[in-house]
Amino acid sequence: MSETRAGALDAAIALGIRVASAGLVFGLQVLLARLMPAEGYGGFVTLWTWMLALGSFAALGFAESSLRFLPRYQLRGRRVAVRQYWRFGLAMVLAVSLLLGFAAVALGAGMAEGPGQMVLLVGLGLPFLAMEYYLEGVARSFGWFRLAAVPVYIVRPILIGLACLGLHAAGTALTLPLVGAVLIGAMAVTAMGVALVLAKRLHALAPLRKAASPGQRRLWLQASLPLLLLSGLEDLVSHADILLLTLLAEPEAVGIYFAAARSLALAGFVAYAMTLVWGRRFALDLAGKSRAQLQGSILEATRLTLWATVLAVAAALAAGPVLLGTFGAEFLAGQGAMWILGAGMVLRAVAGQAGEVLIVTGRQREGLLIGLGVLAVTLALGLVLVPWLGIMGAALASALAMAFRTLALVLVLHRTENLRIAAFGLPALGRVAG
């Protein structure tokens, strides 16, 4: 089987996992929207969005740098270095995320009940979310895509849904603190489970005879910390529209917008499924010093990402009224926002997996500047459009920011690495380059 065909098969498996996850997460959101009061569900959306926006910062960039170092070490037979990186990254992520979590808990304890409660819950969940990010990055770097995706995106929503159903059946009101505690508990279970599996697999890979040298630790930190800002900015950009709404709109409007975004979750998961596979493929191409093969992988990744996204967006929009209606009649007001968000997803997909290319080629500085630019565009447009157009303004700001991101990535990678990103032809699995 050719590498391109194998990569497409891996992407299909990853996409299948995320399709199943999209259904589970969508069902979970519908369940919570039905069982919680409108204000409580809007509060849960706010909590979850802030967690996702801040979680990758606590992972210190090690989730991303693992894709740069671990495939290279594997290819060159440096198994001890793999174990050393794993142990050092794990220790750093645990230490820093716990410190940040404790700081957030202390801050939340001194605030008013509403905002303080939100900060407290974010602080309690932050260490587990940071661990999830790091463990997922390590699993991806080995090509263990099911280990990277199934626990977090399949097992976790099932745990949360079953716990909430059990509490409701017992006559317990699903308040924001209670649902937040369930969420944090599910994150803890999945993170610890994945950590145990990874530790067992890596222990069998090579014995750890000595700790990493100061020079190695310095190299890993110097590579990871810029990626901390890059990945953190990516998450902030991904959730900036919802975060703006939490500050400028009522919780009920936030819930409607989030329902529209969740109804497009399948299309959003397409890009993630491709990221699971192609980041490692790019790193191996680069480690093998095959520039032509790297270019071919990039173009095929773009084709697969773009057309899979187009199909997924079209399917989601066709089913939009039904999907939104499952949340409740009032959520049908999100149909217009859903169409605009879908257009934004297609515009983002034109850049394929350019973000992963930036990481494996060491272009963290350029990625950081692009991320800052996209965030600035999102915030500037959102501050103008949200007070004027409400949730439609938030969707429009997000879509225009995605167009800016795609244009910036295409231009920067062409100028700095002489790599082509855009490819509009249909994917051909037997072809390496287009």
AA identity, residue 103 = A
Among candidate residues 371, 349, 346, 347, the one with its CA nearest the CA of residue 358? 371
Q: Please give the backbone phi and psi of residue 213, each rounded to the nearest 5 degrees, phi first.
A: -75, 160
Among candidate residues 362, 97, 92, the one with its CA nearest the CA of residue 227? 362
Statement: residue 1 has pLDDT above 60: no
Q: pLDDT-based confidence at 112, cuts 50/70/90?
A: low
Distance CA 11, CA 281 (A): 11
Q: pLDDT-based confidence at 14, cuts 50/70/90?
A: low
Q: What is the pLDDT of residue 393?
A: 93
Helix, coil or strand: residue 416: helix
Overall average pLDDT of the 155-161 stretch: 94
Q: What is the pLDDT of residue 384?
A: 93
Q: What confidence tens digit (pLDDT) does each residue in 283-305 have? A: 777 776 667 888 888 888 888 88
Statement: residue 203 has pLDDT above 90: no
Mean pLDDT, the chain, rounded, equals 84
Residues 6+ apart with CB under 8 A from 268: 261, 345
| Region of poorest pLDDT, from 60-69, 185-194, 338-347, 400-409 | 60-69
Higher pLDDT, 236 or 370: 370
Q: pLDDT-based confidence at 408, cuts 50/70/90?
A: very high
Domain segments of the chain: what residues? 3-417
Q: What confidence tens digit (pLDDT) does each residue in 21-61 have? A: 778 888 898 899 888 887 788 888 888 888 887 887 888 88
Q: What is the value of pTM for the model shown?
A: 0.73
